[in-house]
Amino acid sequence: MPSREEEAINQARQKALGFNIILVTGGSGYIGSHTVLELLVAGYAVVVIDNLSNSHWESLVRVHWIVQQDFTKRGRSPGEVPPLFFHEVDITDREAMQGVFETWKTDEPAATERKPLIKFAEEKILKKEKKIVKSVPKDIGALAVKQHFKCQEFSASSTQSQLPAERPTKIKVNDVIHFAALKSVGESVSQPLNYYRTNVGGLINLLELMKQYNVKNIVFSSSAVVYGKGKETNIREDSVQVGGGGSGGGLLTNPYGRSKWMDEEILNDTSVSDPEMQVIALRYFNPTGSHPSGLIGEDPRGTPNNIIPVVMQAFQRRRSKVYVYGSNYDTPDGTGVRDYIHVLDLARGHLAALRKLTPIKAAKDAAPPPPEDDLTSPISPTFARRLSKASVSSKSSIRGTSFSVQRTNYRCYNLGTGTGHSVLDILKAFSNVCGNDIPFVLSDARTGDLGTVTADVSKASSELGWYAEFGLQDMCRDVYQWAVDNPQGYERLRRLSMMAQVDPDAVRQIMETVEEEDEDGEAATDTGSARSSADFGNFIRRLSVMTIDDSKYKNVMRKASVAVPHLGNLLEEEEEDEENESSQGSRNGSFSWNTPFKNDQGQQLPSNPPFNTSSNLKSPFAEKWGFGGNLQPKSQVQNAH
């Protein structure tokens, strides 16, 4: 009789049967979760790996729920949504990673009997081999199916499902999208070894396991940071040298940038060594925005690395002000200019890249075998030896055969809009959306920051058929909705979930008391013992709903602090403030929410930004996704095509 773990694995595999399965590392993070959403809409089954160091598994539950609503809008049954599974695993943990690959590998035929003659030394080694423990996946779809979230109205995604004509008959991970990485420039300077261990070592673990389990396609999450200093406007992909191709990048000023560049070199080398290996690296510029439902968005743990989450937190009063680093750049208003891209555009860029990956092995199998001594054959050992000695310039020739070292099965693309916006542009756009100015101070530029960074996205447009659809106002409108609907991001659910794991019965009783006291709420339902696995799943779902109701959440926390003293350390609010980060060189001085504040133009800013969700906001983004209200025509996004 199979164990409970084996039964869970078998059930998960059966649910995935008939779907192309995509493995997504870092899939519960900001960009990862939006990409998982697009993959599900497109008809892929998804397996997510994440260690939750800078993300929340709740995002995946919300993702699956959103796709269920999307299918309903299309006239399809929510039960048709492809399965979504989650493994809480760190990519640097080779043993745990192998357990995931073992869970999702193709069923092997029965092993043939070993030959009777075997050396004693080999027998001892075999006996010492450690058994691979399969990783038990969490079925996110099962958690989401009974969920009831409050969300904004949104239109069905424009992504089209492209299921294969013949559904797969084997269970196997076919492709990998690799997001999992550390990504703070400042932190990488103080913790370089941690960044190289995670970003470089983690990728090597992944590639070795892909080779072992015969997975040949990977889309890699790279960054515009690989271009370094000296490359600023309309940056082309060949502005950095990878695999001997390109003109050579600028000076990489931090370990994070170097780790991403090293990763691309490793991926290129791997693809050269294996003609069947397909690699696409996507170099992001500045992702922002969120899903129009308001259910998923960017909620980094700790200090955000990007400007728009900082602006959002200032609006939410999770920080007192926005620090604008640098006001003397050679830009129209003196502040830094960046190429911002909506996260949904970015997610669809990954889908376009995934569809671009061609099964080289299938094409090779269909072709007649080359002569044994054919030096032009990529599978000829002689060809491989001569290739290794050949020049690594963009094109070389062996007996009349022209080839490109970097462009055979390794490709890279910029993902941006091609249009730059300054920090003050961001502040103005967000202020226009929320109806109030955002307090800020101008501070000294940070070492290594550039004045302008924008992308040339013509290659992605011509080869992937991809382009950005959303403009800056759309991005800010969407971030605003996420900020209003989730004033603490996923943080409230994280705190309640931690409390529930420490003392689930106590928290359940408190919740039911709060629900009974709520005159407008529904009567509390008995969930039985919160300690059983099935009831605990329902319990967590009720917690997630409660986080949206501000009064209920505060009531639960207040009662818990009294009734369960040992949970007190989980009730402390984490404050995001940069008061001590940049006090020197601040042109406008300090500011608190109870003090009048003026910007450089002498305009007085409000001391208490409102949380008014019923404001008559005008946004082209609202029209596209079906929001109500007085809307303007859809704006056009300029692209450098």
Q: Please report the DSSP string for 453-486 in residue order.
A: E-B--HHIIIII-------HHHHHHHHHHHHHH-
* Bridge partners for 88 per DSSP: 50
Taking only the tens place, the pLDDT of each residue in 452-471 is 999 999 999 999 999 999 99
- Given 195, 256, 323, 340, the catalytic residue: 256
Taking only the tens place, the pLDDT of each residue in 559-608 is 776 766 665 555 554 333 344 444 334 444 322 223 333 333 344 433 33
Which stretch of 8-12, 226-230, 384-388, 507-511 has the lowest confidence by average pLDDT? 384-388
Residue 500: per-residue pLDDT:
66
Contacts for 245 with CB less than 8 Å, ≥ 6 apart: 238, 392, 393, 394, 404, 405, 406, 407
Taking only the tens place, the pLDDT of each residue in 356-387 is 986 544 444 444 444 444 444 444 444 444 44
Which stretch of 39-43, 58-62, 149-153, 392-396 has the lowest confidence by average pLDDT? 392-396
Q: For residues 179 and 31, what is the distance between their CA atoms, to the nearest angstrom?
A: 8
Does the pLDDT at position 388 exceed 50? no
Q: Catalytic site residue 467?
A: no
Taking only the tens place, the pLDDT of each residue in 88-117 is 999 999 999 999 999 999 875 434 444 444
Residue 302: per-residue pLDDT:
67
**What average pLDDT is seen over the chain?**
75
* Percent of residues, the chain, with pLDDT higher than 70: 64
Q: For residues 151 and 27, what is the distance between their CA atoms, to the nearest angstrom?
A: 22
Residue 428: per-residue pLDDT:
93
Alpha helices by DSSP H, 74-184:
94-103, 120-128, 140-144
Residue 248: per-residue pLDDT:
62
For 212-263, the DSSP string reads HTT--EEEEEEEGGGG-BT--SSB-GGGS-BTTBSS---B--SHHHHHHHHH
The pLDDT confidence band at residue 538, using thresholds 50, 70 and 90, is low
* Bridge partners for 282 per DSSP: 221, 413
Residue 639: per-residue pLDDT:
35
Q: For residues 581 and 577, what is the distance between their CA atoms, to the nearest angstrom?
A: 8
Cβ proximity of 82 and 46 under 8 Å: yes
Which stretch of 6-10, 253-257, 536-540 has the lowest confidence by average pLDDT? 536-540
Residue 2: per-residue pLDDT:
81
Residue 361: per-residue pLDDT:
43
Residue 50: per-residue pLDDT:
96
Choice between 585 and 552, residue whose per-residue pLDDT is larger: 552
Maximum C-alpha span of the chain: 89
Residue 41: per-residue pLDDT:
96
Residue 27: per-residue pLDDT:
97
Q: For residues 453 and 418, what is the distance between their CA atoms, to the nearest angstrom?
A: 10
